[in-house]
């Protein structure tokens, strides 16, 4: 399902983030890249009156991504989705959008979680790490207690 107005707004925002303030600037940069479209055609895209085909959209988005118009893969995929196309593939990302990064929560987490101890019992963990009982009956393991535990948390 496509939403042409959202597509146009996302494309306009990417163009402006890429430093192309006017449609004339955008048309000139596209011309340099070998994509010839008039200002009126670009305006029709940004207002949602018309949509480019997928190959043209990919080339336009590659130009915008190279100029930091897109910062994440999710933003890029939102443009494709709202134009009625499927998301970019891993091969397309590697070939045309190598500077883009995912915007997922896991990518923003610290590389080594700051867990100092575990509460409760985990049967899988009990087989791997010797667990010491504290006075309340809960298992408390730290990296200082077991080198094996420290290596599993890295």
Give mean pLDDT in consecutive 10-residue pieces for the chain, a chain of 154 residues.
79 92 92 90 91 92 89 88 90 87 60 54 57 49 49 49
Q: What are phi and psi of 133, to 5 degrees?
A: -85, 135
- pLDDT of 124 reads 60
Q: Quick check: helix, strand or coil at residue 139? A: strand
DSSP state of 88: P
Alpha-carbon gap, residue 69 to 89, rounded angstroms: 19
Q: How far apart are the first and last CA of the chain?
A: 42
pTM: 0.63
Sequence ranges of the domains in the chain: 4-107, 110-154
């Amino acid at each position: 399902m496509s939403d042409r107005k959202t597509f146009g707004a996302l494309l306009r925002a990417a163009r402006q983030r890429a430093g192309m303030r006017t449609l004339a600037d955008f048309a000139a940069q596209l011309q340099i890249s070998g994509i010839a479209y008039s200002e009126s055609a670009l305006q029709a895209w940004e207002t949602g009156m018309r949509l480019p085909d997928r190959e043209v959209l990919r080339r336009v988005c590659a130009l915008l991504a190279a100029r930091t118009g897109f910062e994440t893969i999710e933003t890029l995929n939102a443009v494709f989705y709202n134009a009625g196309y499927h998301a970019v593939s891993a091969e397309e990302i590697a070939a045309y959008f190598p500077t883009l990064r995912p915007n997922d929560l896991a990518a923003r987490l610290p590389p080594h979680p700051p867990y100092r101890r575990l509460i409760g019992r985990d049967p899988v963990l009990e087989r791997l790490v010797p667990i010491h009982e504290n006075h309340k009956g809960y298992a408390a393991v730290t990296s200082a207690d077991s080198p094996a535990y420290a290596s599993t948390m890295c």
